[in-house]
Structure 1
């Protein structure tokens, strides 16, 4: 289907409507408000940055040394301490909740699209990654930073 195809143009117009609807949603507004608060909270922002570094380091260590290595376990404990500290900061909790809600909406849109296409087109969902409401968005790194 080429971009000059009238069907494609209608489809992309509908995609734009969906994207605009998500961008104008209450979940998006709450996310941006919470993100702004996070950007102005130096301690929480610093903890998120540290957590992101630790989480990325854990991924490398897991591949290189395995989860049973002493170094992996030490870094994991450090990351857990950072997560616990973040859980004590209301601004960080609000940001995480808003991020999770927006991510859930995006996932639902994708799941509905895939479910509706399944009977017509051979589609398979890709691997779930950061922002899917999994460990990454629960303070595990990837999508936690308010940068």
Structure 2
């Protein structure tokens, strides 16, 4: 047994307690309810799946051809139209709002932890990420542009 093991166990016990609080929060509950509604709405789910594919395609095109290419611009416009259609579906809007709220809580926890540690240990925050793996607009792949 390492001399650090008791400290590590204590830290992970605290992490488990925080994770449990987040998982049982109103934000998490609202997220799961909104996600369930989204999953049962065929039109919204179809648009959501299409948006994920288009968004992933945009990332590949951006890397391969750049943002100025005609193909990239065409797919970007198609993606914007899908996002507009999703924005007209209340279930999709609820899902986005719930996802944003839960992400904001998780980001805040991370920022508070980093702020508390910055004077005690060398911590580098790393690249900013959306957190859920979901689109910043509807839950697909994330570009963090919103």
User: What is the CA–CA distance in structure 2 between the aligned matches of 1:46 and 1:131, rounded to whole Å?
Assistant: 23
1:5 aligns with 2:5: yes
In structure 2, relative to structure 1, the CA distance for the partners of 1:132 and 1:68 (3 Å cut) is same
1:128, distance to aligned residue in structure 2 (A) = 1.6
CA distance in 1, matches of 2:3, 2:54: 43
1:96 matched to 2:93: no
Instruction: Kindly indicate whether the alpha-carbon contact (under 8 Å) linking 1:47 and 1:86 is maintained by their aligned counterparts in 2.
Output: yes
Q: TM-score, normalised by structure 1?
A: 0.90
User: Greater relative contact order: 1 or 2 (C-alpha under 8 angstroms, separation 6 or more)?
Assistant: 1
1:108 to 2:123 alignment = no
Figure out how many residues of one structure are paired with residues of the other and give that number.
142
Residue 137 of structure 1: SS of its match in structure 2?
coil
Contact in 1 for aligned 2:27/2:102 (Cα 8 Å)? yes
Equivalent residues of 2:38, 2:44 under 8 A apart: yes
Q: Deviations over 1:90-142 (max 9, x none)?
A: 00000000000000000000000011111011111111223379x93223731
TM-score normalised by L of structure 2: 0.90
Gaps of 5+ in 2: none
Partner residue in 2 for 1:53: 53
Which 4+ stretches in 1 moved above 2 angstroms? 1-4, 129-133
Contact 1:31/1:102 (<8 A) preserved: yes
